[in-house]
Structure 1
Amino acid sequence: MSEVKPLVRARNVQKSYGDNDVLKGIDLDVMPGEVVVILGPSGSGKSTFLRCINHLEDMNAGSIMVGDQQIGYELKNGSLQRLSPRNIARQRKEIGMVFQQFNLYPHMTVLQNIIEAPIGVHKESRAEATRHATELLATVGLSDKADAWPRHLSGGQQQRVAIARALAIRPKLMLFDEPTSALDPELVGEVLATMRTLADQGLTMVVVTHEIGFAREAADRVVFMDGGVVVEQGPPGKVLANPEHPRFQAFLSRFI
């Protein structure tokens, strides 16, 4: 039997802005079907690391593999060389990402937002893209909103449409960058419920969030970052109940 390989394999990922070292050598594997939740204080480097996974940020050192793809670079003549923007865009076709802001096209209906990339980038037929979009709207609980305009939706509904839009490209990996941070508290639950549904379906997910409850209920593994490094990681039942590192203990004490 062949060994299951990590879907994401990050090694010694480093990123700095001038003299500010944001990532100081991140090593992390994510297995197929795993839900990894990254916790940490603001400025710890979590979102930067997430953006490096689909090369929205350049790394200064290290490597990230998604499947068998070296993200952002290729090995030529013994050294890593930057891929062309076209080839980077091709890699991103297999990685969905949901941001803090919804970034829906205001001049398009919900359905049009969702089918835009499958038709325009992936060259799906309109009929197939629409069929898949209809399924995704049912998954996120918005079947009745296909013809609605984004401005007529609540923030929670807009974020669920953004999740459906990211899923429309049939990604093998989904990245969530604090997807509930821009929402009013009463709307957070509906987005987290949608994400739990995706987790239950076996989608590989890396989630940056401050929602400890989501981490406890939906994560297979919790990773705590601080100061640009991974400080502690493990199953949520273990590390959230009995964190070993003082920095993680101090972080969690704010939520008790």
Structure 2
Amino acid sequence: MDQAPLVRARNVHKAFHHVEVLKGIDLDVKAGEVVVILGPSGSGKSTFLRCINRLETIDKGSIFVDGEQIGYQLRNGKLQPLSNRAIATQRSKIGMVFQQFNLYPHMTVLQNVIEAPIGVHGRSRDEAITEARELLAKVGMSHKVNAYPRQLSGGQQQRVAIARALAIRPTLMLFDEPTSALDPELVGEVLTTMRSLADQGLTMIVVTHEIGFAREAADRVVFMDGGRVVEEGSPEAVLENPRHPRTRSFLSRFI
């Protein structure tokens, strides 16, 4: 039997102020798979990503991560909302990297990375520091452990943010346009870090406009438009020979 998907979304709907942003999203992501979501601004990509770790509540449908329904629990045959504490526990298994780096400005690089492992996961300080140094080495930031965010470039801050997300030992990593706030010359260093993570088998869902990253690192590309999944398939299929006119129109801007 095939292994159950790590992420399973079914008929996911979400509206803001009566404007429907997600209109029935279905998506499976296997463990170890890298899925890149493309689409125009306003297509619902980032909203869907935020729904996966319950930063946004959904109005209809279901999302499961590693066998657990996000935000709900079945009790006595009925779905009941989870407490904030239980949701926080679910969220603690999902790493997320945002457009903005969201580093604590009053903490050093090392302090930023060890904050969650110690404060949320209860690891010892020595263990957290050892692992943080390993992660910072992995993202090429060993030389900046004692620096403060204001002393770093945007690309360096984003690589620290990736190390911080990895420090919780996530089963799933979500990237919400992680290079969109960077100057063009800094984009490459972050994408290189992400490609390295993909090569190591980390399960990743990446919302991005970086077509090159999708072509080189994705196992599957999903194109969203108008709150729906319009097309999905291998990078070769979607990027080189898209079937849907909307996908072709979108990709033509990058050629």
Normalising by the residue count of structure 1, what TM-score does the alignment of the two structures yield?
A: 0.98
Aligned-partner residue type, residue 251 of structure 1: F
Aligned-partner residue type, residue 212 of structure 2: G
Segment drifting more, 67-76 vs 154-163? 67-76
Counterparts of residues 157-176 of structure 1 (less than 5 Å): 157-176=156-175
Aligned-partner residue type, residue 105 of structure 2: P
**Cα separation, 2, equivalents of 1:17 and 1:110:** 36
Structure 1 residue 80 displacement after superposition? 1.9
Partner of 1:135: 134
Aligned-partner residue type, residue 227 of structure 2: G
Does the alignment pair 1:156 with 2:155? yes
**Cα separation, 2, equivalents of 1:19 and 1:127:** 49
Partner secondary structure for residue 240 of structure 1: helix
**Cα separation, 2, equivalents of 1:118 and 1:233:** 36
**Cα separation, 1, equivalents of 2:180 and 2:65:** 27
Tell me the alpha carbon deviations over residues 50-77 of structure 1, each in whole angstroms, 9 at most, x when there is no partner: 0000000000000000011110111123
Structure 1 residue 19 displacement after superposition? 2.1
**Cα separation, 2, equivalents of 1:121 and 1:192:** 28
**Cα separation, 2, equivalents of 1:74 and 1:192:** 37
Partner secondary structure for residue 26 of structure 1: strand
**Cα separation, 2, equivalents of 1:15 and 1:80:** 18
Structure 1 residue 241 displacement after superposition? 0.2
Tell me the alpha carbon deviations over residues 128-174 of structure 1, each in whole angstroms, 9 at most, x when there is no partner: 10010011011100111101111000000000000000000000100
Does the alignment pair 1:122 with 2:121? yes
Aligned-partner residue type, residue 208 of structure 2: T
Structure 1 residue 78 displacement after superposition? 2.8
Identity of counterpart residues, as a percentage? 76
**Cα separation, 1, equivalents of 2:225 and 2:65:** 24
Partner of 1:214: 213
Partner secondary structure for residue 160 of structure 2: helix
**Cα separation, 2, equivalents of 1:190 and 1:57:** 30
Structure 1 residue 79 displacement after superposition? 2.7
Partner of 2:33: 34
Partner secondary structure for residue 254 of structure 1: helix
What residue ranges of structure 1 are gaps of 5+ in the alignment? none
Partner of 2:85: 86
Segment drifting more, 66-75 vs 53-62? 66-75
Aligned-partner residue type, residue 112 of structure 2: N
Partner of 2:54: 55
**Cα separation, 1, equivalents of 2:150 and 2:120:** 25
**Cα separation, 1, equivalents of 2:17 and 2:24:** 16
Partner secondary structure for residue 11 of structure 2: strand
Partner of 1:65: 64
Normalising by the residue count of structure 2, what TM-score does the alignment of the two structures yield?
A: 0.99
**Cα separation, 1, equivalents of 2:41 and 2:2:** 37
Aligned-partner residue type, residue 168 of structure 1: A
Counterparts of residues 226-237 of structure 1 (less than 5 Å): 226-237=225-236
**Cα separation, 1, equivalents of 2:64 and 2:52:** 8
**Cα separation, 2, equivalents of 1:253 and 1:162:** 32
Greater than 6 Å deviation, 4+ residue runs: none
Partner of 2:182: 183
**Cα separation, 2, equivalents of 1:240 and 1:146:** 39
Aligned-partner residue type, residue 54 of structure 1: N
**Cα separation, 2, equivalents of 1:76 and 1:50:** 27
Aligned-partner residue type, residue 2 of structure 2: E
Segment drifting more, 12-21 vs 159-168? 12-21
**Cα separation, 2, equivalents of 1:80 and 1:187:** 45
Partner secondary structure for residue 64 of structure 2: strand
What residue ranges of structure 2 are gaps of 5+ in the alignment? none
**Cα separation, 2, equivalents of 1:161 and 1:19:** 37
